[in-house]
Chains A and B, each alone.
Chain A
Amino acid sequence: MQFMLLFSRQGKLRLQKWYVPLSDKERKKISRDLVQTILARKPKMCSFLEWRDLKIVYKRYASLYFCCAVEDQDNELITLEIIHRYVELLDKYFGSVCELDIIFNFEKAYFILDEFLLGGEAQETSKKNVLKAIEQADLLQEAIEQADLLQEVRLLTDP
């Protein structure tokens, strides 16, 4: 996979992940072109299109479009299910995910994506395992915060 974009029906980019080196300018141009192309398509149209020398696979979930660019020999249907699995992961993590969750917790959306896809390839397709990794990280964070808290308490009570 070369890149993944999440954008709203209004064309606002909510998440962008690039797996090939491109300049900032190129990224902006690609995003703009693609968002326009996809938003112009009608609901019943097929989820795949040829775009430059890439295949675009996209799907709309509520107000958000998920769009992946894959190479010529890549499998369109399995890419479609990569998108779905990612949505499931977000859904499970946030609990009925909606666009706002991704806006306000964009960093989490990136972390979950990194656990699932790395370098544009599926790293771990088991929902349980991906969520376990994220969960562990969250626990680690809580443990550290607890420790901080204890330290602060001790500081306060020391004479």
Chain B
Amino acid sequence: MPAVSKGDGMRGLAVFISDIRNCKSKEAEIKRINKELANIRSKFKGDKALDGYSKKKYVCKLLFIFLLGHDIDFGHMEAVNLLSSNKYTEKQIGYLFISVLVNSNSELIRLINNAIKNDLSSRNPTFMCLALHCIANVGSREMAEAFAGEIPRILVAGDTMDSVKQSAALCLLRLYKASPDLVLMGEWTSRVVHLLNDQHMGVVTAAISLITCLSSKNPDEFKTCVSLAVSRLSRIVSSASTDLQDYTYYFVPAPWLSCKLLRLLQCYPPPEDGAVKGRLVECLETILNKAQEPPKSKKVQHSNAKNAILFEAISLIIHYDSEPNLLVRACNQLGQFLQHRETNLRYLALESMCTLASSEFSHEAVKTHIETVINALKTERDVSVRQRAADLLYAMCDRSNAKQIVAEMLSYLETADYSIREEMVLKVAILAEKYAVDYSWYVDTILNLIRIAGDYVSEEVWYRVIQIVINRDDVQGYAAKTVFEALQAPACHENMVKVGGYILGEFGNLIAGDPRSSPLVQFNLLHSKFHLCSVPTRALLLSAYIKFINLFPETKATIQEVLRSDSQIRNSDVELQQRAVEYLKLSSIASTDVLATVLEEMPPFPERESSILAKLKKKKGPGAVSVELEDGKERGELNGGGDRGGDAAIAASNASTPSPSADLLGLRSAAPVSGAAPSAGSLLVDVFSEAGPAASSAGVNDDGFLSALHAPEASDSPLVEGPGDSDSAPPSAASEDPAPPLPESDELLNKFVCKNNGVLFENQLLQIGIKSEYRQNLGRMYLFYGNKTSVQFVSFSTTVSCPGELQSQLNVQTKTVEPLVEGGAQVQQVINIECLTDFIDAPLLNIKFRYGGALQNISLKLPVTINKFFQPTEMAAADFFQRWKQLSQPQQEAQKIFKASHGMDTEVLKAKLLGLGTALLENVDPNPENYVCAGVIQTKAQQVGCLLRLEPNAQAQPGEQMYRLTLRSSKDTVSQRVCDLLAEQF
């Protein structure tokens, strides 16, 4: 066999590769490549037709050059030519080139697709596989459009060779991942599931990847795979290591297939069938038992394959979260791995234990390993392992061990790698808050955090400590004292100054009795930091100063002096200058009463979830944070989509949390703010009216005083808009409710009465495409949400609701969508609809997400209308008229006469009537100008026969053209509704 690679032609290629390798410099390499490109270009352009071999060789050279990292802008046509060569190697190189260097040139795509089509129908399995590999490698939408219909057929056909089936299965998987809307399994579902029973292990191995992906998206349709997967797994687990011949890998029977089977089962809850469940539990126990057996080989491949299955089995056990016995055994097994000499196993054990920690059955068992994990945090040489240890400590933390764990994490933070500091800081902050029994411990911890890793303390963290201090009377004095002490350090972090400025401004009076921290001492201490700080911090300090004037009249002269100095009142920064001017005026003009009212102590913040959680989650990606929600978590959450549960909770906490920055701004946090400017304005008016007419007139008469009163609101804006705070803009309380449907939503609904696919909605951010299919009384709708921007949408969520009566008329089920939509990405949502009885209203679709911090809230009507459940009925003229007569009671008929809003083009009219879902009956109405249609509306409760007649007066002048539309059906509401809907269409 090796002879093949040595002897076979393409000497020119080998020489070229050698030349490149011998190049001494980058420049020489580029020179050589350019020479070669020129040569190839001239060959391709030359008059002499190239033979297949030369073409293959040059295409291969181009490929090599491309893989070296250079751009290739020609040769595609020659590669496409190779595809239709009947020489295998030429074809193969052609396909390789296309797979690596796809070009979206539509003309080429057409040619490529043609070549693929030929090979797929060639019945030559080697050619078919090549073509399938190419589709799988490219996976473009164009290919999905061309082949998504054909491949399932190849996959399940009885006469397809095994190797072709394998390629077809994975090819289909790739197309499904790229264009799920184009791959409709429908009728193939059950035959695809039964591939799990295939004799050929390779076919099962390939098919199961496809089945797993499809199951995770449509669990109900594929649920028969559970029992098949369990019995397949059971056969493998109980087989001797030699039974499976070449599918045994280092004495482990079919490790890849075993892992995939265990993974597939994680798409489902535990089997309901007792026998199946028993068999599965037996498998899991066997796998755990095998882990204790002596290894059959010393090779690392043996233990890796064996442990791969073990870890996958543990994942399944954790996913079920219902077998205490298995959970504890899993935990013990992982405990052994924590001290294993293989770094890989220690890493994986720490990772896997993190999820075990969130199960109520194994949380205690995990906690017993705390010392080992702390030791790992201190001694592991590999930062990625230490990171896992930190994650696990975080996950196993509860009230009983919080102080120990937080202390260990803090001390680790002093030497921690820069790459993980920010995350560690967030975690410490969260744990400290969550398990704080006494709040002085909490304040100490956060101040320590700022001291040790101030650069990594994000705004969320220091906002949060202030929120908590403000809300807890018992800790305010302690906080003031501690922060005062912390500020004594000659070099302290700017974040400490911020916290200090805020806390002393609010609660400095609580420690002012001590001469060592008298008001002037406090002020001087703060002001000594002023010149080292950035503009936002200085702005905050100026606000602290004006609060000092209110708290301690004895500091007024000193502070006014500071405010009056040129460096403040003439500061080049507009913000600082404005504050200095306005605060100075405020302190000199306003009466003490006004001052006291304006600068009253902050009201408590509404109790709420920490916004730090959201921050951590954003940093870590989905799934990372679900752990700390354990307290409030429902038991069901681990079964299917723990992440999603976490997301939802966080989205909720986000939603109920007005921006931390906004909260700290003094005046306006007590009332929910719907639009900052007007509400702040009205608040100021209130202050005025309370202060009495004197102050009011003073304000009006004095230039700048009005704006001075605006100051606390307006001037804090730099903090609000500070970097990194973009997604916490204050949502108004009202905007969290689903918005009322857009005014145009009825019009949008009408657009879809006669069609099923199209763009439902589009604005600058979002496009919603729709694709739907109906059968009998059932419908399925695919919604495609496309992010038109380059920025991700976060907290993306959609809800479909049936208002009022509709609830009992339609049964609508939706699958949740991922909460994150990347820029430029599209997510799909499937909606299943069952029509229970006839209905009038449309379901409401509400979409919420955050784009660059601003909450977007859009409501639309889903275009589900009663006519969607029409089954067309063909009938002869005699039948039609007989039925027409039968439906002659007045309430059975609905009629409308209306002006044509479009032209009366016959074909357009026909298309619309067909789109309505009825059968268009030819030669029934004696007047050939008229249209008659018939159909049956299928609901769960009943079937409603429906006849329709549309009479245009086509001869009339444009502008005078009218229709008469008559509907007759066995149910009055149906006649009326269909008539109303249809009247909008012409």
Contact = CB atoms under 8 A, between A and B. Distances in A.
Contacts of A15: 67
Contacts of B60: 107
Interface stretch (B164-172, B457-465, B472-480): B164-172
Interface string A122-133: 111111110101
Contacts of A47: 343-344
B381 interface: yes
A93 to B, nearest CB: 7
B621 A78 contact: no
Given A93-B2, A95-B2, A121-B206, A80 B304 contact: yes
B784 interface: no
Contact of A140 (B1, B88, B246, B305): B88
Interface in A74-129: 75-78, 80-82, 84-85, 93-95, 101, 103-108, 110-111, 114, 118-129
Given A50-B387, A107-B60, A72 B344 contact: no
Interface string A31-44: 00000000001101
Interface in B591-649: 621, 623
A123 B167 contact: yes
A28 B68 CA distance: 11
Contacts of B4: 138, 141-142
A50 B390 CA distance: 14
Contacts of A41: 382
A5 to B, nearest CB: 12
With most chain B CB atoms within 10 A of its CB, the pick from A28, A46, A120, A136 is: A46
A119 B139 contact: yes
B64 A106 contact: yes
Contacts of B315: 73
Nearest to A94: B2
A137 B126 contact: yes
Contact of B202 (A95, A114, A126): A126
Contacts of A108: 5
Interface in A8-56: 13, 15-16, 19, 21, 24, 28, 41-42, 44-50, 53
A48 B348 CA distance: 9
Contacts of B585: none
A46 B139 CA distance: 33
Contacts of B347: 46, 48
Nearest to B100: A110
Contacts of A114: 133, 137
A81 B205 contact: no
A53 to B, nearest CB: 5
A140 B4 CA distance: 11
Contacts of A24: 71
A84 B750 CA distance: 59
B290 interface: no
B384 A123 contact: no
Contact of B139 (A21, A80, A135): A21
A103 B21 contact: yes
B385 interface: yes
Contact of A118 (B2, B5, B133, B307): B133
B205 A84 contact: no
B576 interface: no
B247 interface: yes
Contact of A137 (B92, B174, B623): B92
A82 B255 CA distance: 10
B163 to A, nearest CB: 6
Given A13-B67, A45-B384, A125-B256, A118 B308 contact: no
A118 B167 contact: yes
A121 B88 contact: no
On chain A, which size bracket covers the interface? Answer: 35 or more
A149 interface: no
Given A123-B170, A125-B205, A75 B64 contact: no
A46 B171 contact: no
B136 interface: yes
A127 B623 CA distance: 36
Nearest to A101: B5
A127 B246 contact: yes
A123 B206 contact: yes
Nearest to A57: B344
A136 B126 contact: yes
Contacts of B87: 141, 144
A85 B249 contact: yes
Contact of A144 (B88, B255, B308, B344): B88
B506 interface: no
Contacts of A144: 87-89
A81 B1 contact: no
A155 B246 CA distance: 47
A137 B384 contact: no
Contacts of B137: 114, 119
Contact of A48 (B69, B129, B170, B344): B344
Contacts of A105: 5
A135 B206 contact: no
B612 to A, nearest CB: 20
Nearest to A114: B133
Given A94-B2, A110-B96, A118-B171, A124 B202 contact: yes
A125 B174 contact: no
B551 to A, nearest CB: 49
Interface in B382-411: 382, 384-385, 387
Nearest to A56: B384
B263 interface: yes
Nearest to B167: A118
Nearest to B202: A124
Contacts of A110: 96, 100
Contacts of A84: 301, 304
A136 B140 CA distance: 29
Contacts of B136: 118-119
A83 to B, nearest CB: 10
Contacts of B132: 118
B201 A126 contact: yes
B68 to A, nearest CB: 8
B514 interface: no
Interface in B103-162: 126, 129, 132-133, 136-137, 139-140
B192 to A, nearest CB: 15
Contacts of B246: 126-129
Nearest to A141: B89
A58 to B, nearest CB: 11
B210 to A, nearest CB: 8
Given A46-B385, A50-B384, A126-B246, A121 B257 contact: no
Given A118-B133, A140-B126, A144-B87, A78 B384 contact: no
B91 to A, nearest CB: 10
Contacts of A42: 381-382
B126 A121 contact: no
Nearest to A51: B384
A101 B387 CA distance: 38
Contacts of B255: 78, 81
B172 to A, nearest CB: 9
A77 B621 contact: no
B308 A75 contact: yes
A104 B202 contact: no
Nearest to A139: B4
Contacts of B21: 103
Contacts of B64: 106
Interface in B262-316: 263, 266, 301, 304-305, 307-308, 311-312, 315
Contact of A107 (B63, B260, B348): B63
With most chain A CB atoms within 10 A of its CB, the pick from B171, B201, B304 is: B304
Interface in B2-22: 2, 4-5, 8, 14, 17, 21
Given A73-B266, A73-B315, A124-B206, 12 more contacts: A16-B67, A28-B69, A41-B382, A76-B344, A77-B305, A80-B308, A95-B1, A118-B174, A119-B136, A119-B177, A122-B260, A123-B205
Across the A-B interface, the 10 shortest Cβ-Cβ residue pairs: A77-B308, A119-B174, A121-B209, A78-B308, A118-B170, A46-B343, A126-B246, A45-B382, A95-B2, A138-B4
